[in-house]
Structure 1
Amino acid sequence: MSYSSLKIAHHVRESEERKATERKRQLLYLILQHLKDEGYFETAQYFTNEAHLSNQYQICDNIDLPTIVQEYESYYFLRFQKYPKICKKVVIEDTKKNSLKKNNQENEMRDTTKSRAITSQSDVQNENKVHLTKSLGKTTTNGNQKSPKHNSSLSDLDLVVLPLTSKGFINIHNNSNQNCLQDSIGDKLLKPLSGCSTYSSEWREFAEIISKEICVTDLNVHWNDIMGLEEAKRLLKEAVVYPTKYPELFSGVLAPWKGLLLYGPPGTGKTLLAKAVATECKTTFFNISASSIVSKWRGDSEKLVRVMFELARYHAPSTIFLDEIDALASHRDASGEHEGSRRLKAELLIQLDGLAHSDDRVFLLATSNLPWELDAAILRRLEKRILVDLPNIEAREAMIKHYLPPIVIERPALLCELDYELLATAGYSGSDIKLVCKETAMNAMRKAFSILENSESGENLPDMKLKTITTVDMETALAGTKPSASHLAPRYKKWQHEFGSS
């Protein structure tokens, strides 16, 4: 064989090896992407570490592992007129079963003998430790010994022992890695989407869009954090909390409500109540807005609405939160309404009607600042309609005490001497009161800003004495900040009288 022939053969062999390596790498990334698509994120992380995969490559948009398997099955059927058998059940013969059973018994006997030997050896070691402790002058009480501060065996292996309590492991080191681990543990773990009946190749994109709107983090808003609104909190507990905790009490005529509308002036705490539901009710919380289910493509909006309710049933018990529902379900007889908007409302009504006549543990929570803009069919399906009105005098006084306590800031000292009962004026919403308190505190801090601008450094900032906030300062801020929703209160009262259901 000539030199040129050997060179060509060498290049062909190298080309085949490169193709095989490339094929292996593509297969690994296909498996990784398939694990992520199915929701096995922890398995995907272990697989990434073991296979030494990086973020340098990603799967193309039109390629996935199920599609490749499906195309292979189609090719196999066209060629051999039958579908391939990719997996088969492993059958263990009786002889193999007997041999395995015998080996297991022998291993159990060996392990028992070994464990007894280890137990006796550990007892001897414990006695030696007791004698060693006494010889070093250390005393013990009731046989309970404190472990040395530095364990040589653990320090050599670079291991960290975390004490276990009823709430889990205690974090004794404040580093970023463990903080991230705690955050990930605190998040909700959702079921893989592959188990949902609608999660097919056709609906995969819609299911992934809706799944991104599931709130998996703890919003840390509790019922006690909301001042006032006792009636709204009571009805939310009856609609969501109690049916989940005591399902045997809610059947027949006592079946839980399926839909609830919170309406009222802006800034009165409607969204805050929804956050408390997400925190306290322990249900899967879907935070849906108009951008989540409205698409520019024909027919996609209706499919998103359907997939949203299907996923809510799959992750039940669940709560669907529709903020500003009037943007999605206004009157259908409005002039100039687009066809796509009517189809979306029709699908929403169909899903809500099916929800009302089923035993699915799915609850719809909606809010609106313009309840008179809602369609009558939507109002019929929202069984409870609660007015979240402006806070009463007790709630306003509690809010001012919360935002402006006697000691606002310790260093530099910012103090308050206020007549809270006098300052709890009517007409202000919760957000208005927060804005007034912020403006009052900012007026007292402006002196610190002028001093800092004239000084070279802020070293004397903790020792700075700020002006004490008085009732006159708060009244000045109230005069400069007008209420934003007091003029709408009569209209909400009138609508409540006509359509309310609390």
Structure 2
Amino acid sequence: MSLEDTKQSPFQRQRNILYLISQYLSNFGLKQTKSALWNEASLSSECKICDNIDLDTIYLDFCSYYHLRFGKLPKILKRVEVEWNETKGKINKSRGADSNSNKSSEEHQKKVKKEPSEHSTDNLVIKSSLSSAGEAYNHEKHSETNSTVDKYRKGVDMFEHLSGEMRDLACVIERQIVRTDNQIKWNDIQGNDHAKQILVESVVLPLKFPHLFTGVTKPWKGILLHGVSGVGKSLLAKALNSETFDAITFFNISASTLISKWRGESEKYAKVLFTMAKSCAPSIIFIDEFESLASHRDSPNDHEATKRFKNELLIQIDELDLCTGNVLVLANSNLPWEIDEAFLRRFERKILIDLPNDENRGNIINQLLPITKDWPINKMKHLIGASEGFTGADLKIACKEASMIQIRNKLKSYNKSIEKVPEVVYEDLLSSIKQVKPSMEESAVKHQKWHSKYRNQNE
């Protein structure tokens, strides 16, 4: 029998499975069971299983694939319900050879119920253990109200009625929930006041004054942060998560979370993600590098599966209008002009995170190197002028290099370990700034031109 044809009909698949089961029964010496299977299924001796396949190999391959895909082994068997056990007991009674055996069996069951042993698997004992476990879980859940664990369980409970693949997909999405406070506050981010205001209006204020944000003033459902790399887009998302950590469920999503090589699975991931976000509302879905998921749909290089995923993502974002809870899709992008127009329309606010100005660059330097707060004003002005066009990431690299210069000099002078990091001097910081040089000036101009198309409708 050949399994080379991948477009088999359901009848062919079922017939192949029966032959696999027949071979498995034969290997275990279950000849009567095999004979009964052949008679009832009308199998033919003209076909037989190929040498390189058997049921046990298929089972092992499936377990290996499942573990690689979901990070755990598949659950094949589960404990049966109490009612099923009782039915099984009645069936066993009906198979008794005579009335005496039935009576003895009934007496034995009554005896077990009255005197349950330590190792008994009686239904009553099992039911009692499950009940106590449920009470313990409820007590633990109520004792952790507003905690991260409780928010995590909120997502799990939503999918208790699901089984199989959908529940496994939900478990993958749940791993993307941020469960630790990164301790980044608004004051830790220099500049970007307009972006901070929009984020506060979209998330923080609706939590404090829910009666004000209804109807036409319903919070924004989509915000796109765009700008060159290193200006603090992701840092704003982390600060928003920290400021609302006890009240908001934060999903940190990237392309690797939603994109799958299996046909139709990416769309399922998108649907499960938004369903969980609605069940855990208020919640935030933060998508990093959004252009990798929402590029132009008319591209000739796009595969059919990619287009289906984008359409599903558009549908899920649209359905947020019907959601009773507050769910915000927060995305950032270094290449907003690569995003499809349909996605841009669904982001109600498009915020440009521009290069830091003179004041913000000075504040960033003071924040990274507190010693610079005591330097003369003319030296600071010189440093700020030399760092024209720098991003926050560029300034961090320059400050780090200035500190490393002092460490190198100290290690060369003493030729031994030093107790603390030496203080940075003006000359070293100026030298490191000239060495690093700005890296994103041309891209920043391109972002400003692109943003000018949306300035009238958004600002």
Q: Within 5 A, what are the aligned runs for 1:168-247?
A: 187-190=148-151, 191-196=153-158, 199-202=161-164, 203-247=166-210
Counterpart of 2:438?
483
Residue 244 of structure 1 and its aligned partner are, at CA, apart by 1.5
Once residues 198 and 279 of structure 2 are traced to their aligned partners in structure 1, the CA distance between those partners, rounded to angstroms, is 25
Shift of the 257–73 alpha-carbon distance from structure 1 to 2, 3 Å rule, reads: farther
Counterpart of 2:46?
none
Shift of the 60–392 alpha-carbon distance from structure 1 to 2, 3 Å rule, reads: closer
2:409 to 436, 439, 447: 447
Counterpart of 1:437?
399
Residue 319 of structure 1 and its aligned partner are, at CA, apart by 0.4
1:65 to 60, 67, 78: 78
Counterpart of 1:496?
451
Amino acid at match of 1:403: L
- 1:100-140: CA deviations, max 9, x gaps? xxxxxxxxxxxxxxxxxxxxxxxxxxxxxxxxxxxxxxxxx
1:250 aligns with 2:213: yes
Amino acid at match of 1:424: I
1:272 aligns with 2:272: no
Once residues 389 and 278 of structure 2 are traced to their aligned partners in structure 1, the CA distance between those partners, rounded to angstroms, is 42
Residue 424 of structure 1 and its aligned partner are, at CA, apart by 1.3
- Identity between Structure 1 and Structure 2 (%): 40
- 1:434-470: CA deviations, max 9, x gaps? 1111111111221122245x34xx3xx3499x57502
Counterpart of 2:425?
469
Residue 267 of structure 1 and its aligned partner are, at CA, apart by 0.4
Say whether the 8 Å CA contact 2:202–2:219 is kept in structure 1. Answer: yes
Once residues 354 and 324 of structure 2 are traced to their aligned partners in structure 1, the CA distance between those partners, rounded to angstroms, is 32
Counterpart of 2:51?
none
1:422 to 374, 379, 382: 382
Say whether the 8 Å CA contact 2:365–2:372 is kept in structure 1. Answer: no
Amino acid at match of 1:247: P
Shift of the 399–62 alpha-carbon distance from structure 1 to 2, 3 Å rule, reads: same
Equivalent pairs counted in the alignment come to 330
Residue 358 of structure 1 and its aligned partner are, at CA, apart by 3.2
Residue 62 of structure 1 and its aligned partner are, at CA, apart by 2.9
Residue 76 of structure 1 and its aligned partner are, at CA, apart by 5.5
Question: Which consecutive residues of structure 2, in runs of 5 or more, have no partner in the other structure?
Answer: 1-71, 93-122, 128-145
Q: Within 5 A, what are the aligned runs for 1:4-19?
A: none
SS in 2 for 1:213: coil
Once residues 388 and 241 of structure 1 are traced to their aligned partners in structure 2, the CA distance between those partners, rounded to angstroms, is 20
1:323 aligns with 2:285: no
- 1:395-429: CA deviations, max 9, x gaps? 10000111122279xxxxxx977822321132000
Once residues 382 and 315 of structure 2 are traced to their aligned partners in structure 1, the CA distance between those partners, rounded to angstroms, is 51
Q: Within 5 A, what are the aligned runs for 1:31-46?
A: none
Once residues 295 and 424 of structure 2 are traced to their aligned partners in structure 1, the CA distance between those partners, rounded to angstroms, is 50
- 1:270-315: CA deviations, max 9, x gaps? 0000001111123000000011111111111100100001111111
Amino acid at match of 1:420: M
| C-alpha RMSD over aligned residues | 3.1
Counterpart of 2:348?
383
Counterpart of 1:126?
none
SS in 2 for 1:319: strand
Counterpart of 2:4?
none
Shift of the 79–333 alpha-carbon distance from structure 1 to 2, 3 Å rule, reads: farther
Question: Which consecutive residues of structure 1, in runs of 5 or more, have no partner in the other structure?
Answer: 1-58, 81-85, 91-184, 409-414
Shift of the 324–364 alpha-carbon distance from structure 1 to 2, 3 Å rule, reads: same
Once residues 484 and 268 of structure 1 are traced to their aligned partners in structure 2, the CA distance between those partners, rounded to angstroms, is 12
Shift of the 494–467 alpha-carbon distance from structure 1 to 2, 3 Å rule, reads: closer
Which deviates more from structure 2 when the two are superposed, residues 339-348 or residues 363-372? 339-348
SS in 1 for 2:181: coil
1:284 to 234, 246, 249: 249
Compare the two structures and name the one with the higher helix fraction.
2
Shift of the 467–357 alpha-carbon distance from structure 1 to 2, 3 Å rule, reads: closer
Amino acid at match of 2:291: D
